[in-house]
Amino acid sequence: MKIYLNGDFVEKEDAKISVFDHGLLYGDGVFEGIRLYDGCVYKLDEHLERLEHSAKAILLDMPMSRAEFAEAVCEACRQNNLKNGYIRLIVTRGPGHLGLNPDGCGPQSVIIIADNIQLYPEELYENGLKIISVPTRRINASALPPAVKSLNYLNNILAKIEAKRVGFLEALMLNDKGEIAECTGDNVFIIRKGVLYTPPLDAGSLRGITRAAVMELAEGMGIQVKEQALTRYDLWISDECFLTGTAAEVIPCVEVDHRPIGNGKPGTLTQKLIDLFRESVKSDGTRLDG
């Protein structure tokens, strides 16, 4: 496997960064997870725009232009002969001094890993996932805007651990008002009486690229889509529920906090959206072969 590291492609064993990198020392950096489908980098421009916004929010200067990032991402796929895969793009503040002060950090570290990912077993795309709400809350926007995809994922990791310790693969995270924010790496949707609902971004959700794609597909199907604050109760009594994310794609959710959703099986609209999503990813992106 060849890894892109600061302008070069190096073997996995040689892909090393400094122990003084503030990405490691403090989680001081930003990242994106991107999918490659059938030789097509899915919504590459949207991911690169979000990366730029994350970097701007944490006052991190981007060391490369969007076009240069796009080319490096595509080249990382080509170097690894990938046609389908998962790309992790990371920009850190770079090596610096011990101490929080970012002055003296640099140059920024740019890492691109083109590999594969399977977040959940295939069987769960057929039968649905069970999720549980956990005590760890989504980080407050006044502390760190949850829209920033930073290298600080500790609160999501704690939520994941809490869910796993009680036998669940995914955690439902609330904001500090007790409203639904999202899962640890996925946005949440419900369907009730034919209307599709998802929490608004200010509830603490990431501006998910899969979220936006699914909202557009649903509107194309004539389904009404509402961004609205949701409580756990709204999820419990929903007809259908599913999660969206680059890694998870669209996955049905059949149980929330021990309450079966609908008839306890993946919903029919959810299934239609999964089918439409899987069809759309083949063409909606940047082709590696130009």
* Omega cis (within 30) before 145: no
Which region among 75-83, 129-137, 201-209, 276-284 touches ligand PXG (by CB under 6 A)? 201-209
Site for ligand PXG in 95-154 (CB under 6 A): 119
168-171 contacts, C-beta under 8 A, 24 or more apart: 168/130, 168/131, 168/132, 169/120, 169/124, 169/129, 169/130, 169/131, 170/120, 170/129, 170/131, 170/243, 171/131, 171/132, 171/133, 171/134, 171/136
Which region among 89-97, 202-210, 223-231, 278-286 touches ligand PXG (by CB under 6 A)? 202-210
Q: Does 187 bind ligand PXG (CB under 6 A)?
A: yes
Which region among 94-102, 195-203, 228-236, 243-251 touches ligand PXG (by CB under 6 A)? 243-251
* Least distance (Å) between residue 193 CB and ligand PXG: 26
What DSSP character marks residue 178?
S
Active-site residues: which are they? 149
Q: Does 246 bind ligand PXG (CB under 6 A)?
A: yes
Site string for ligand PXG, 12-51 (x = CB under 6 A): ---------------------x------------------
182 Cβ neighbours under 8 A, 6+ residues apart:
138, 173, 188, 199, 204, 205, 206, 208
**Nearest residue to ligand PXG on Cβ basis:** 185
Beta-bridged to residue 117, according to DSSP, are none
**Residues written for the chain:** 290
Site for ligand PXG in 143-182 (CB under 6 A): 156, 182
* Least distance (Å) between residue 38 CB and ligand PXG: 18
Strand pairing report for 170-174 and 129-133: parallel
The C-alpha angle with vertex 225 and arms to 142 and 168, in degrees rounded to 5, equals 65
Q: Which is nearer to ligand PXG, 51 or 105 (CB)?
A: 51
Q: Does 54 bind ligand PXG (CB under 6 A)?
A: no
Name the residues that contact ligand PXG, by CB under 6 A.
33, 119, 156, 182, 185-187, 206, 208-211, 244-247
